Amino acid sequence: MSKDIFKIIEKNNFSYQIVDIDSDEIKKLKKGKADLIISIGGDGTALKAMRLAWKFKKSLITVGPGRLGYLVSSSNELEENLKSWKSKDYELVTRKAIIQNDNKELPAFNEVVIIKNSPTRILEMEISTYNQKVNLRADGLILSTSLGSTAYNYSAGGPIIQNNLDVISITPISPFSKFPRSIVVSKESLIDILIKKNQNYAIQFDGVVEVQEENETDIKYTYNLSKESIKILGTNDNPKLDLFLDQILR
């Protein structure tokens, strides 16, 4: 199937470079060397490609060579998308990321997950937003974009959110203390998460562990939705409810 995709690219007279997204080849890429990024793979590959599009400020097409995913478009649509790109007659959708502590090197397009590492203890946290504080004792916490609402967020009891809504969903993982199943806040919100001292936890960005901590003191992390966006061709903001329900009900 990948060979067919390359044939489509060549047929439309695009020059291209093939890069393994999981290799050190990524480090060789330089800004300004390409006009468009095309990812070939499933949703995990698409999320990695989104980071590249974010880093290099390039538009993106995410293609699924096999079964259609939530974040990828069908390979059957690639030729039409390339023709529209070439003629500059296309529409792009935008996707924002969740940012931790203003660090734009670690964008999360699906979710940030704060989760315990110790199987016998729960995490004690304090959530602050709009000068209001809520204490939470749980196995962890999910901060999800609307794009990631059908991923871990949904599994933990969170809502399905229309993709064009720039919001953050706050969903606890197996809460011990009384807590709403989810709270959805606007794109202007700043969310402070205070992890109480003497705890063992990890923080994942789109499924990749970026922080491992055993804190001797309280540690605070601040999250917000980015003002910047990546631009994706060949998708839309309609929720893939048929695909989603087919997967969970089969």
Residues serving a catalytic function are 43
Sign (positive or negative) of CA dihedral 230, 232, 236, 239: negative
* Residues found in the chain: 250
Q: What are phi and psi of 51, to 5 degrees?
A: -65, -40
Sign (positive or negative) of CA dihedral 207, 211, 217, 223: negative
State the Cα–Cα distance between residues 234 and 54, nearest whole angstrom: 17
Written as six digits, the tokens of 53 are: 């599009």
State the Cα–Cα distance between residues 187 and 189, nearest whole angstrom: 6
Residue type at position 117: N
Written as six digits, the tokens of 231 are: 């631009």
